[in-house]
Chains A and B, each alone.
Chain A
């Protein structure tokens, strides 16, 4: 996923290849852990490790500045989904305090060909996304919590991802940061 201007040029990958690769990963995890809960946890951890690296790509590419408001953050997360997954989830259901919002996905490239079998009813198929968001925000000194409240795979109309601001990691903010 290199950007324009470099020799590699903006390489677009067919999203089906990505969908299938992710499917293979999830299937393998369930086989390895033999327990859906553990697979959920593992997906979140993998996502976290992706997030702490992916944030640099996002920043280098967009040149965005620091967020001083959670609404800024929401918009940046939205644009991140556009850049990396080619989808634009809608931002809804703000809490009155402005510290919690939902990302609603009408379509989700991760789940395009997926039907959950009965023994996986507890599986959070897209749980990698919660990890990615947590890892990426942590690197810009923001602690968030993130979970799925609705899932199209579980016969909901949309997939809804809830994001909650926990705190600013004040002591991790680099010196001389405006």
Chain B
């Protein structure tokens, strides 16, 4: 019977059983009597079924946490954001700067000034809302659509442009495609193109930080498509079994390039998977900057105080094309895009919130957009004027020190350039 077994040892299993039983609507039956209890020497005990049923989902869907509505009204006074006017204005300012940066750099790619670009339209609140709830010592691993996190941390427009151009001031030394930002100074690991690889890395980094006694967590961003990669599974399972203080932050924007979520998964989004790994999980309205801010604030507290992982799923909408190599009108209607732009735009929602408080007006908006535009245009102009990184940087950082074999290859290039240098871009 129940009493002969330690309740505490099996508490997690009991919870699971209860939840499954509840979802099947047969709670009383599952707990009927001792003959229903099966025992496994290692797994422990589990309650038996008398009626065989296959279940595919919990009865109750994952609810979406919201703080303000589409018009910027706080839904419940108890949820009023605990944020000063100054911080609020800075958050909004960063969202607008990101938005303006996107429009200028997107156009720059269209004009052939950049080889590639990816905008952040529609997802500004997920970046700034989450980043503003973090401390600088928290370590970020991203996918590629999280530039707002860097802007919030003080990464400058000049640094962004230098990276996108790949000039000699690019902190990646011109090696990576545009938008693959990274900055040690800002605790933001360099972006790489392979999707979801950063997830198990984030778990490992968090484990290292825990052992080092750092009072900080790791935040790892990824999209709904990346969550289909095997690394997602490995990462969540490792983070759970090894108790890593990492926050997995999924930007569910409805699409992975052209693939809608209907073709990406059939479960209840990404959030429901977190529960199956026994990870504390919550879902929020990703276009509601205060919902994102609150959820990240709580997640950080859990991760750091309990040294466990947290999964956040922020529901949002990819407002722009996937990238400059993509034309989204080939697979989704303009109605859909404009309805999001007009009725559920994270920037507009926050602006309405601020206007109701008299923290913002049209004049400030115009001034901000103009200054942001001037700043990014100037930064891009500057970036384009700078030289390429020196040619020898092609061979450095492959290893900590350049090995003899690579020195030899560098010498063959230099020898080659002596004769054919005029056919190559100017460097010094």
* A and B are partners in one complex rather than unrelated chains: no
